[in-house]
Structure 1
Amino acid sequence: MTQAFSTLAEFRSLLASAPASDGAAYGAAEERNGQLTKPPGSLGRLEELAVWYAGWRGDAKPSIDAPQVIVFAGNHGVTAQGVSAFPAEVTVQMVMNFQHGGAAINQLSKAAGATLDVHALDLDNPTADFTQGPAMSEAEVVEALLTGWNAVAEGTDLLVVGEMGIGNTTSAAAIAHALYGGEAEDWVGRGTGVDDAGLAIKARVVREGVAVNADRSGLEVLRCLGGRELAAMAGAIAKARVARIPVVLDGFICSAAAATLAAEEGSALDHCVAGHVSAEAAHFNVLKNLGKEPLLAMNMRLGEASGGALAINIVKSAVACHSGMATFAEAGVSAG
């Protein structure tokens, strides 16, 4: 199999040349939506979702038959700074739980009719402590991007990506701070449940990491402040963009990873919707910067693709109504 890219420059070029939504299918879906047996706009955002989905799939009357959830796991060297309430060993233990079917994401994927794949990325070799310099070399971030790119299954028609990695809320906060400015305190939250002292440590670590890694281009922010699982999520989201597969974004960490793509290419997330807004306070502001209105607000902050997976059924319901409902003509109902 030919490798899709081998450098960040090649990956950046793929992002820039990715296809747009199918305008003809989008227009035909809009026309169909106007003929369905309901008052105009009465299904609210479900109508917008269905037309958006139809445009990306190139089908005015689509169906969702093969949703895929992918969880990527990685370990972070910055945990040496005391930013998490849990040790890094928990990442390995949770990966085993995913593989044995015992985690929340297993249940949510099953309920949504989605396949679930889990990829652990070099857990025995944490990224470097980004307060001392870049978290990853170019070779390391490219390898992680490729893992995500190649993890998107043939035939997938809706994608959700998520993560597991002790310390990755600190990484996400550093990315958001680097991309959007403000103060470090604006972007840090309690993550796994750190106390006030831990929160202060996270803010210091984010501040130091952003100061040490000065490049603000999206992929360099990902390389210098991200982790392997964040890069893998970005790679999978980018592959979905190239393949015109709609994506449901998960929480704060997923959205921060996605934000690095948007910083590189303004249209890179046009195929994405925000599945939910999490209880991690900074997530709302990341979504605001991305121009994404969440589908759900359930006070969740678990990660592991849980909020995105929960939203799969919202998108499926939107598409089912759009494609399954009769038009006024088909139903013999007067349109008024």
Structure 2
Amino acid sequence: MAAKPSSKTEAWEIFDHIVEAAAPGGEHTNPWVLGSDGQPQFRPDYETLALLLGVPLHLKVGTQTGVPALALDVWLSYELRRAGFGTDQVWPRPSNPRVLPAPVAAFVKSLPSSIRAKAQSHLTSNTSIPSVTSSSASILGKNYLKQVDVIITDWVTGPELLISTKRMDSSYGKNAPNRIEESYGDAKNLRLRHPLAALGFLFGLRSDILEKEPKTAEWLFDLLSKLGREDDAYHATCLVLMDYSSDQAPVEADKEEPSPGILEPGPQPISDATEDEAVELPESTIESIVKALPKVSILEERTPDDLSPARFLTSLINRVLAATPVNMHEEARKRRASVRLTK
């Protein structure tokens, strides 16, 4: 009898379906619109975000599984592909393996057809191949390795974009100080080794904090804003205010989510080698699940302007493109420029 798949494995199957439906065949909509200042502004796909955030609520899993925060990572990587960055440039990828260096992907594509299929099968069926693929990525900062949630990188350029995500659904006053303290340290560690990389921090927060702990919310919003203004911290910070029914709250949400902490040097132990393997649920089953996902709303109107996802993505993408030559990331530049051409 086959073992029951892990919650993260199930989540990936549903996440992948949602992302594929939003970008059929890998064809993404153009997210850029002309802002009130006459400059291109990123318009996030909040409908897809709401669906992704509904997955951990459907699975009834707590923050300690990593699934609730993973929904934010999947959405950010999807939005970066909407911006025009390649599938193999942005991690996590929209299929297994989630972390695959672009040169490795290019090498496999260059192989003779007689062996290419076997090589691709080997990559996709193995979540973690030491020093080649992984289910998550770690980057060396000034002093230590740090797991980073969403990345754009290549062997030629090194890290170009590094985004850390955190999520909190309850116990705000108890856990918020720890999350902020960790984020300050992570920012300085990464910024000092990778000064040209666009560095961002996204915080997912359940909206009931506005009623339950308004003073904590005010304090937290202020610190998040300051994190994006410090010379040696993040280039941009973001707040995603999530609203959903109380009876859908993740289980064990009152317990503090463990931090990965400082990673040991060298290859990391493969403790999740089977985490991201495909569940192979019938397509009709996944479609039924997606249609019945718990409803989640994004409270744009309650989010401070300087922490809005639109401003966050606009700022980071502009920084990536400004730090590279015009003959790199050509599709991303073309998409951003198209809104001026159609004015």
One fold, TM greater than 0.5? no
Structure that is richer in strand per residue:
2
Q: TM-score, normalised by structure 1?
A: 0.29
Structure that is richer in helix per residue:
1
